[in-house]
Structure 1
Amino acid sequence: MAYFTTTNKNPIKFLHFLTIFSLLSPFSLSSPSSPPPSIHDLLVSRGLPKGLLPEEVKSYTLSDNGTLEVFLDEPCLTKYENRVFFDSVVRANLSYGSLIGVVGLSQEELFLWLPVKDIIVNDPKSGLILFDIGVAYKQLSLSLFEEPPHCKPQGILNNQVRKQKGFEAMR
C-alpha cells in the first residue's frame, strides 16, 4: 500500500486530488472480470450442442435481447450429414434450446442449397435436433454435433471433391 504525505494544510483538497487521481488512473482496484465463455460453451449452457458451430469461429456477440452474431474470418463449408455452408457472419435469436431466425447458414439437400431458418432441440433426451430448412423440417442425430467441426474455405472443399471424383466431376 502506498502512503502519501502532504505539506498542504488543507486535507480536503488533498482528498479531492486522490479521488480524481483514482478515477483517472488506468489501474483499477476491482478484480478483473472473467473472459466470456467460448461460443461452444455458450451453446451448451443454452441447451444446444457445442458442435453446432465450427471450430473456426473467431468471435461472437450476444445482446441482451438474445440476438447472437457469430463471426468467422471467411465463408466456409463443413459436413454433418450433408454439406453445410457458413457465411462469414451468422445471426440468430438465441433462447434455451433454439436458434430462431437464422441468417448466414445453408444446408445442401438433393443438390440444392437451402437456408436454415431455425435450429431446435425440443428434448435433449430424444437425441434429435430439428433443422427448419424452409420447405421441410429435418431431424438429425445430436451425436453429429458432439464436437465443433473444422470448416474449410469454399474453394478448397470444391477442389478436393473434383480431385476425388476425377474426370467425372469435370463434365
Structure 2
Amino acid sequence: MPSPSKTLPALLFLLTLNLALSLSSDSPSAYEILEGFGFPKGILPEGVTSYQLDDDGGFQVLRSCDCELRVEESGYLLKYGKKITGKVKSGQLKELNGVSVKVVMIWFGINEVVRKGTDLYFYVGPLSASFPSSNFEESPKCDCGSRCSIDMVSDS
C-alpha cells in the first residue's frame, strides 16, 4: 500500500485537474444558445439567472424579476416574466409563455417569433409585427421593479 505522503500529492493533482477541466467546459449562455438557433441575443434582456434546454427543443429561461421595456419606435411596451418557456428550433420560437406586449391598454402574450431572412416576426395569435433582426444585436438592460425606456427597435 502506498504511503500517504506519496498519494496525497497525486490526489491533489487529480482534484486540481478535475476542477480546471470543469471550469474550462462552461455551458454556453442562454444568449449563445439563441444565436445558435439563428436569433440575435437582443431578443432576450440581460439578467438571465439560469436556463434549461431539452433535447426536443423545449426550454425554460429564468430571470430574477419581471422586466418591462418600451420599444421606442413603435411605442409598444414589452414584459418579460421571471419564467419564460417555449420550444425552439432553427429560426423559430414557438409556444412562448412569459413574454407579452401591451397594445392600447391590453396585454397580449407573444406566442411565436419567426426569423424570415433578416427580419423577425413577432406573433400575437394570427397577428404579427416585423422588425429587422439587426435591431436586436444587443441585449437590453432592465432593472428589477422599474420600467426601462430604451431604444430597443429603430427604423435603421
Q: Which has the higher contact order (CA 8 A, sep 6+)?
A: 2
TM-score (norm 1): 0.69
State the SS of the aligned residue for 1:121: strand
State the SS of the aligned residue for 2:34: helix
Choose the corresponding residue for 1:109, options 103, 118, 137: 103
**2:33 is equivalent to residue 35 of structure 1:** no
**2:18 is equivalent to residue 4 of structure 1:** no
- What is aligned with 2:78? 84
Shift of 1:73: 0.7
Is the Cα contact below 8 Å between 1:50 and 1:146 reproduced in 2? yes
**2:137 is equivalent to residue 157 of structure 1:** no
- How many matched pairs? 136
Q: What code does the residue aligned with 2:140 have?
A: P
Q: What code does the residue aligned with 1:4 have?
A: P
Query: Which shows bigger deviation, 43-52 or 80-89?
Result: 80-89
Structure with the greater alpha carbon radius of gyration: 1
- CA 1:137–1:65 in 2, change beyond 3 Å: closer, same or farther? same
Instruction: Give the CA RMSD over aligned residues.
Output: 2.7
- What is aligned with 2:54? 63
In 1, Cα distance between equivalents of 2:28 and 2:44: 14
- What is aligned with 1:169? none
Choose the corresponding residue for 1:137, options 128, 145, 148: 128
TM-score (norm 2): 0.75
List gaps (5 residues or longer) in structure 2.
Answer: 4-10, 150-156
Q: What code does the residue aligned with 1:157 have?
A: R
Is the Cα contact below 8 Å between 1:57 and 1:72 reproduced in 2? yes
Q: What code does the residue aligned with 1:144 have?
A: N
- What is aligned with 1:99? 93
State the SS of the aligned residue for 1:106: strand
Is the Cα contact below 8 Å between 1:131 and 1:139 reproduced in 2? yes
Shift of 1:39: 1.1
In 2, Cα distance between equivalents of 1:28 and 1:118: 45
> What percent identity do the matched residue pairs reach?
25
- Per residue, is there more helix in 1 or in 2? 1
